[in-house]
Amino acid sequence: MNNLGLSVRVAGRTVEATDICSFELVEVNGRALPAFSAGSHIDVQAADGVVRQYSLCNDPKETHRYLIAVLKDANTRGGSKAMHEQVKVGDVLSISTPKNHFPLAHEAKRSLLLAGGIGVTPILCMAERLAVAGADFEMHYCTRSPDRMAFRQRIAAAPYAPRVQLHFDDGDAAQKLDITALLRAPQPGVHLYVCGPKGFMDAVLSTARAQGWPEAQLHYEFFGAEVVKSADDASFEVKLASSGKVVVVPKDKTVVQALAAAGVEVQTSCEQGVCGTCLTRVLEGVPDHKDMYLTPEEQAANDQFTPCCSRSKTPVLVLDL
Ligand code: FES
């Protein structure tokens, strides 16, 4: 197993909803864990060679534990299945220290928090933080059905419960989230946060952009999704600026895989274009972006890309490696 930096013991596991289990992690020797801010995630070694990112969903004030929740995904690539089927109370797991790619904008006058399914994990943490800070916010939490809604009791018992609206796909039309109405009028100082399955996030973000929300007021974190392969994916070359070395990236290999075969390691984590760990500067050429990490503006600048999944539109990409 890799050592991701911290060893934790599974102190508890709880079925939170259909196919969702939470895991309470404590430091192996009972010491305080590194502090984290709302929106943070940790890398977890879910099984041999399988590292996955999970958002922390406990109160950021707590230092005695981290709480994560894992959806057993039918399309899993191994991480969620291992967590659900193999990880037991008492097991020791290797995890990273918390990282935050989805922080709250502290200058926000008001925050709109939108969670779809398991995407509630960072959003819940944000709601708790905003409530403690006395900030103005509204949270919407959508799931397919009530039995798939994790943390419902926790939300109902929270002081901020009146700020939360629950929506179910299988419920009556009146309670469904009307994204267009909710996002109709972007206001200065109002920030939107969204986390959930890709379809949900695409619907929210495309509606917000169509209604004129400035990119700086949109905050989102995608969960791992299959990287879209296209019939046009072709072979190309990457050139390393430091050495001039040229590496061919075959049609069926990622840039990271081709570089590794040539003895050049690029640090990765999600390998799905969601975490940004592998972000690499592009000095020449035009990347074919397939990630969900960079904003549309950052992608359009074409001066960086995620080599774990993105490819090239030009025959050669010169990388700052
Ligand atoms: S490893 Fe996560 S974006 Fe590339």
Q: Which atom of ligand 1 is nearest to the CA of 276?
A: 3
Cβ–ligand 1 distance for 117 under 6 Å, the answer no
Query: How far is it, in rounded angstroms, from Cα 139 to Cα 167?
Result: 11
Between residues 80 and 207, the one the model is more confident about? 207
Cβ–ligand 1 distance for 256 under 6 Å, the answer no
Percent of residues, the chain, with pLDDT higher than 70: 95
Cβ–ligand 1 distance for 53 under 6 Å, the answer no
Task: Report whether 254 contacts 264 (CB < 8 A).
Answer: no
Banded model confidence at residue 293, pLDDT cuts 50, 70, 90: confident
> Ligand 1, residues 275, 280, 292, 305: which to mutate, most atoms within 8 A of Cβ?
275
Percent of residues, the chain, with pLDDT higher than 90: 76
Res. 227: pLDDT tops 80: no
Cβ–ligand 1 distance for 277 under 6 Å, the answer yes
**Cβ-based burial of 164 (10 A; exposed 0-12, middle 13-18, buried ≥19):** buried
Res. 52: pLDDT tops 90: no
User: CATH number of the domain at 110-222, please?
Assistant: 3.40.50.80
Where helices occur in 71-178 by DSSP H, the ranges are 79-85, 120-132, 152-157
| The two structure tokens encoding residue 101 | 């790619």
Q: Which CATH topology does 236-319 take?
A: Ubiquitin-like (UB roll) (3.10.20)
Q: Which atom of ligand 1 is nearest to the CA of 268?
A: 1
Between residues 91 and 76, the one the model is more confident about? 91
Between residues 53 and 12, the one the model is more confident about? 12
So what's the pLDDT on residue 101? 85
Banded model confidence at residue 247, pLDDT cuts 50, 70, 90: very high
278 Cα to the center of ligand 1, angstroms: 5
So what's the pLDDT on residue 77? 60
Least confident of 192-201, 216-225, 275-284, 297-306: 216-225
Give me the mean pLDDT over the 62-83 stretch.
85
Task: Report whether 53 contacts 277 (CB < 8 A).
Answer: no
pTM: 0.80
List, for residues 117-128, the tens digit of each pLDDT value: 999 999 999 999
Cβ–ligand 1 distance for 310 under 6 Å, the answer no
So what's the pLDDT on residue 248? 95
Which architecture does CATH list for 6-95?
A: Beta Barrel (2.40)
Q: How many Cβ atoms from other residues are within 10 Å of residue 223's Cβ?
A: 24
Query: How far is it, in rounded angstroms, from Cα 168 to Cα 199?
Result: 15
Res. 104: pLDDT tops 60: yes
Residue ranges per structural domain of the chain:
6-95, 110-222, 236-319
So what's the pLDDT on residue 1? 47
